Amino acid sequence: MSAPVIVEATAKQTATLIFMHGLGDTGHGWSSALAAIRPPFMKVICPTAPTQPVSLNAGFRMPSWFDLKTLDISGPEDEPGIQAARDNVHGMIQKEISAGIPANRIVLGGFSQGGALALYSALTYDQPLAGVVALSCWLPLHKKFPGAKLNSEDVPIFQAHGDYDPVVPYKFGQLSASLLKSFMKNVTFKTYSGLSHSSSDDEMDDVKNFITLIMLFSIAGHNQ
């Protein structure tokens, strides 16, 4: 796997955002947009997925966190691939903790396939994280929840989706949010009217506000 794109904190680092890109993208795809909205004390890590064949795209090789067989909510999933990718994310979290950033000051985020990985990785991590930013995505291996959940039910989740998304259906995001709300206490699902499978200035403003808020909570001793 190629080295992640890292945007260092501009003040003393006390928090980290690890953000996973969507299918076929790289860490460079999100680093600038995230650098523009993160607080000065937050380091941003944008890893690039390994290049591998993707069944959904006729076996074509591209950066992908795990194999995608279909984008149907009840379709088959690449469970070993999802779990291997999750282990990789947990390793990145552990590296930050070893460098002195506590788990409750680490945010996981991602877009599309990367957002799916962020959700799964956060829920199956055994220490409370600061929060999750899940954009235009879904909860993978959803039938395993809430049983597979190892994290605190208090971890804040900000899920966002455009209602004109032709790639990951809006309904898929809604269903994932409904399931998450059944076993997590702090889930926000925000709809962006007319937005397709992409981000927008409004959405990025909301992500900025969410990160600012959860950072205040973690300083106040929330999520300890």
Task: Please name the CATH architecture into which domain 5-218 falls.
Answer: 3-Layer(aba) Sandwich (3.40)
Distance of CA 215 to the CA centre of its chain: 17
Spatial distance between the Cα atoms of 220 and 104, rounded to a whole number of angstroms = 11
Q: Are strands 15-20 and 106-111 parallel, antiparallel or unpaired?
A: parallel
pLDDT for the residue numbered 16: 98
pLDDT digits (tens, 9 = 90+) for 22-63: 999 999 999 999 999 999 999 999 999 999 999 999 999 999
pLDDT for the residue numbered 198: 95
pLDDT for the residue numbered 220: 53
Q: Where are the domains of the chain?
A: 5-218
pLDDT for the residue numbered 2: 79
Catalytic sites, residue numbers:
112, 165, 197
What ranges in the chain are assigned the alpha helix state H? 28-35, 79-98, 113-123, 170-183, 201-219
The answer to whether residues 198 and 160 touch, using CB atoms and an 8 Å cutoff, is no
Whole-number Cα distances in Å, 35 to 42, 45, 83, 132: 9, 10, 28, 17
The answer to whether residues 200 and 192 touch, using CB atoms and an 8 Å cutoff, is yes
Token code pair at residue 187: 């889930």
Spatial distance between the Cα atoms of 155 and 72, rounded to a whole number of angstroms = 27
Spatial distance between the Cα atoms of 136 and 119, rounded to a whole number of angstroms = 12
Place of tokens 């395993």: 144
Characterise 131 by phi-psi region: left (phi > 0), alpha (psi -120 to 50), beta (else): left
The pTM for the full model equals: 0.95
Q: Which residues of the chain have pLDDT under 70?
A: 1, 219-224
pLDDT for the residue numbered 1: 64
- The secondary structure of residue 18, as a DSSP letter, is E
pLDDT for the residue numbered 223: 41
pLDDT for the residue numbered 222: 42
